[in-house]
Amino acid sequence: MKAVLLLLASATMALAAPAKDEIAAMPGWSGALPSKQYSGFIAVDDGPGGQHIMMHYNFIESRSSPSKDPVILWQQGGPGSSGFGFGYMTELGPFHLSASSMSGGPSAVPKLHANPDAWDKQGNVLILEHPPGTGYSYCHDGNNKPVMCLWNDDTQAEAFLQELQGFFKLFPEFSGRELFITGESYAGLLVPNLMNQILLKEAEKELNVMGVALGNGCTGQPGMSSENPGRCNLGGQFDQQHNVDLFYGHGMVPKKMYNEVYKQCNFTCGPEIKACDGPYSSQCSKLISQMSDKLGEYNIYNIYDTCGSGNMSAPAALNLFGAAPSAAAAAEQYTDSSYGTMAQHTVRLARHELELRAGVSGGPPFSYPCGTGGAVNAWMNNEEVRKAIHMPSKKFYNTSWPCRGMQYQGYTHASIDLWPTLIKHFRVVIYNGDVDACVPYNGNEDWTAGLGLAEVESWRPWLVDEVPAGYVTTYAVPGQLSGANFTFLTIKDAGHMVPGYQPQRATAMLKRFLAGGPY
């Protein structure tokens, strides 16, 4: 009997988390880790199109009760932005990097700071650097020689599901645990396409997906396909009108110009998306250009930000009002975090050297670190860091991080086409920081209202410490399965990267999302 028990114990240990991937110490941090962390690769030997994948994962066990708490998957945007570099190190991980991290000089390991609002206080956090070709993840020829990864919205979703299934094979003790999927920006296309794959492959019970929360997310355009590629957002007058409204609503343009723009551009957008079509007149285009000039310099991801270019790896310029770039060009720009070629009507990040030296923007209780972009690049390219987190030398990629090993071939499957089905199966929260001009909250408010669902609870403030933290609308879903509901929610004074810009409010939202509400 004793021998049998020993055999069972050995079998259980063999099915536990891979010891070789556990992080013993984190360079730049002098103390013990707050909880167990793992970093390694998930191998997918037969991905979409026969691609061989080495998917970098980072897994942070809950500080509370790792054996009982849910798994929270975080998906970064882009496509091509590192969830480990940016999601972990600048938004929701146990540690943060900032301008002050570089105080030891360019050759020192950047110093890590504790994040008091880390999401591992709420559950077990899983970060995948997806799609492969992002961050440390890569594709290879079958003999571990790196090759270019090729993706579109549909094929990345197939790979995404394989990677998730691969994770739970590595960590079988978490298999069947409640899984909540979160993300931001282009995750608004990556994640719904994953959810669609989960339904198509009937994997929802296997993965036990409880809900999805997406921040400032892309929607794509109705009817997108490989033959008819679209773009991140609905585009055209829809995006243009909502940006104009956002700028006017935040006091960035005068009422006289706002009224004239509305008159000449004949804006008619609202929840009925199809009512939003129409060509621009030459006078409309002229006024939009004049408005762009009058706006001055600001950060498109947070119009109130004072960090300047310090929170990106390169100064950025975005085209708010002109035509969208090609899908290939957009993917390249996202991967580089540099948008300088989209320059007909641009807004450039201001450079505020005093704020950068101070290393923080805003004031208590809503301050956040500046200088994160440069510190992240320095930390992730450090050889000591790579060794500690079980990643190859940077020479392995023959380039500095982020790895330029991915081609995203086009916007091929709009999430706005998928949501009517998805919301019947999963609890969904669409949330938006209300000072983001990249994917403005009023655009997401309109398309969510445009689904035609009955309101269970109309627009009202939701509170943190008895103070409005944003506004929330909850909808009923006809034919929904048990536990499914659909919510639109805003976070006051948050930019595109909500957990980074408003960490306390983001954490309060996360707690209520995991609990199923109410907000």
Nearest CA to 261 out of 233, 228, 296, 237 is that of 237
Nearest CA to 506 out of 431, 404, 398 is that of 431
Question: Which pLDDT score is estimated for 60?
Answer: 98
Q: pLDDT tens digits for 215-272?
A: 999 999 888 888 888 788 887 788 889 999 999 999 999 999 999 999 998 888 877 7
Q: In the chain, where are the structural domains located?
A: 20-232+371-514
Name beta bridge partners: 183: 75, 214
- Average model confidence (pLDDT) across the chain: 83
Which two tokens mark 442?
């009023």
CATH number of the structural domain 20-232+371-514: 3.40.50.1820
Question: Which pLDDT score is estimated for 311?
Answer: 62
Q: pLDDT tens digits for 9-55?
A: 333 334 577 999 999 999 999 989 999 999 999 999 989 999 999 99
Measured distance CA(403)–CA(111) in Å, rounded: 23
Q: pLDDT tens digits for 161-199?
A: 999 999 999 999 999 999 999 999 999 999 999 999 999
3-state secondary structure labels for all residues of 437-498: CCCCHHHHHHHHHCCCCEEEEEEEEEEECCEEEEEEEEEECCCCCCCCCEEEEEECCCCCCH
Q: What is the pTM of this model?
A: 0.88
**Bigger pLDDT: 125 or 281?**
125
334-363 burial, b at 16+ Cβ within 10 Å, e below that, comes to bbebbbeebeebbbbbbebeebbebbbbbe
Could you tell me the pLDDT band of residue 371, with boundaries at 50, 70 and 90? Answer: confident
Region 424-430 average pLDDT: 94
Residue 96 has pLDDT above 90, yes or no: yes
Question: Which pLDDT score is estimated for 324?
Answer: 31
Q: Kindly report the number of other CB atoms within 10 A of residue 469's CB atom.
A: 23
Q: Which residues, in sequence order, are CB contacts of 363 under 8 Å at separation 6+?
A: none
Ramachandran bin of 266, using left for φ above 0, alpha for ψ from -120 to 50, beta for the remaining angles:
left
Name beta bridge partners: 318: 347
% of the chain beyond a pLDDT of 90: 61
- The amino acid present at 397, given as its one-letter code, is Y
Measured distance CA(420)–CA(424) in Å, rounded: 7
Measured distance CA(495)–CA(510) in Å, rounded: 17
Three-state DSSP class for residue 74: strand
Cα end-to-end distance, the chain, whole Å: 53
Question: Which pLDDT score is estimated for 232?
Answer: 86
Region 149-157 average pLDDT: 94
